[in-house]
């Protein structure tokens, strides 16, 4: 967490750097899944951002409980959802723990399409049921332009995950883009002068809805971002250490627990 008199304004933590199955994959005996390097253990994608006293979570996947415990996150001002896939939304119920501490509902920022999907997926929360201990959440329609949550200014970006719209977010000097395989030309101006880009890169081989490592690096190079961290990584990427050895300075793989201060 940010120290009160830190020279940094922003604190970021990658809570999960893995693709939808996580790493290791259940039942897989490949070298990556068998690795004892903690950087080869990847929970499902999630990202934590703090500025001053404002704390925001990006995505609430199936590993959320473990992630909140591991990073001692007890307080959230909002949750931003990038898109409706299960590996980004299956942990919504775990927000109950935060509700119990805070004693009020958590705002969930998402598009109307994502909201509709979540209302179906979590019908017990929304159908006015007497189901005990339901999470207290309320939807906020994601603004099209820059918006403010507490002390944080957030800029949404509209991108594509094959034919599914995905929202990415810029937080001051850092942008977090996951589950993307196309960045429209009109989004590039929003990605100028970044210090850090976190961008999904599933593996080295092409994929229909995710960038490869090579594609992610090409985008970081095009944007001249000093630091790229690739995320949403599959066991097919290879061992963290062997991949890192061949990357240029400022081009790295993210890992669970990666902390960035800017």
Interface residues with Zn ion (CB under 5 A) are 25, 28, 30, 33, 85, 87, 179, 235
CA dist 89 and 81 (Å) reads 7
Task: For Zn ion, give the closer residue by CB, 139 or 160.
Answer: 160
Task: For Zn ion, give the closer residue by CB, 87 or 115.
Answer: 87
Strand pairing partners for 29?
A: none
Task: For Zn ion, give the closer residue by CB, 24 or 135.
Answer: 24
Task: For Zn ion, give the closer residue by CB, 42 or 85.
Answer: 85
Distance of CA 69 to the CA centre of its chain: 17
Task: For Zn ion, give the closer residue by CB, 34 or 69.
Answer: 34
Q: How far is the CB of 207 from Zn ion (least distance, A)?
A: 11
Residues in contact with 169: Cβ distance below 8 Å, sequence separation at least 6, in sequence order = 58, 80, 82, 154, 155, 156, 157, 175, 176
Q: For residue 231, give the 3-state DSSP assignment.
A: strand
Q: How far is the CB of 16 from Zn ion (least distance, A)?
A: 10
Q: How far is the CB of 158 from Zn ion (least distance, A)?
A: 15
What beta strand segments (E) does the chain contain? Answer: 10-16, 46-51, 54-58, 78-80, 106-110, 137-141, 147-149, 152-161, 164-171, 174-177, 196-200, 227-231, 251-253, 259-261
Task: For Zn ion, give the closer residue by CB, 50 or 167.
Answer: 167
Q: How far is the CB of 88 from Zn ion (least distance, A)?
A: 6
HSE, CB side, 13 Å, CA atoms: give it for residue 6.
Answer: 14
Q: How far is the CB of 138 from Zn ion (least distance, A)?
A: 24
Cα–Cα distance list, 28 to 22, 24, 203, 246 (Å): 11, 7, 16, 25
Task: For Zn ion, give the closer residue by CB, 28 or 206.
Answer: 28
Q: How far is the CB of 28 from Zn ion (least distance, A)?
A: 3
CA dist 222 and 85 (Å) reads 29
| Burial classification of residue 45, based on how many CB atoms lie within 10 Å of its CB (0-12 exposed, 13-18 middle, 19 or more buried) | buried
Q: How far is the CB of 53 from Zn ion (least distance, A)?
A: 30
């Amino acid at each position: 967490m940010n120290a009160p008199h830190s020279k940094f304004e922003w604190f970021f933590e990658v809570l999960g750097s893995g693709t939808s199955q996580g790493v290791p994959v259940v039942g897989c005996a490949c070298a990556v899944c068998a690795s004892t390097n903690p950087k080869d253990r990847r929970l499902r994608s999630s990202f934590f951002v703090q500025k001053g006293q404002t704390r925001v979570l990006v995505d609430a996947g199936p590993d959320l409980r473990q992630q909140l415990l591991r990073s001692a996150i007890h307080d959230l001002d909002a949750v931003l959802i990038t898109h409706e896939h299960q590996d980004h939304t299956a942990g919504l119920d775990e927000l109950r723990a935060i509700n119990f501490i805070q004693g009020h509902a958590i705002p969930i920022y998402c598009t109307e399409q994502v909201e509709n999907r979540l209302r179906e997926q979590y019908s017990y929360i929304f159908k006015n049921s007497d189901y005990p201990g339901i999470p207290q959440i309320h939807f906020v329609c994601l603004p099209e332009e820059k918006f403010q949550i507490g002390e944080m200014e957030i800029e949404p970006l509209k991108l594509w995950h094959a034919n599914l719209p995905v929202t990415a977010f810029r937080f001051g000097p850092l942008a977090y883009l996951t589950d993307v395989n196309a960045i429209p030309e009109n989004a590039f101006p929003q990605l100028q002068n970044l210090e850090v880009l976190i961008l999904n890169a599933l593996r080295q081989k092409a994929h229909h809805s995710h960038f490869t490592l090579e594609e992610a690096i090409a985008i970081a190079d095009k944007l001249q971002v000093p630091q790229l961290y690739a995320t949403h990584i599959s066991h097919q990427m290879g061992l963290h250490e062997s991949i890192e050895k061949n990357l240029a300075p400022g081009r790295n793989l993210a890992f669970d627990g990666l902390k960035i201060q800017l």
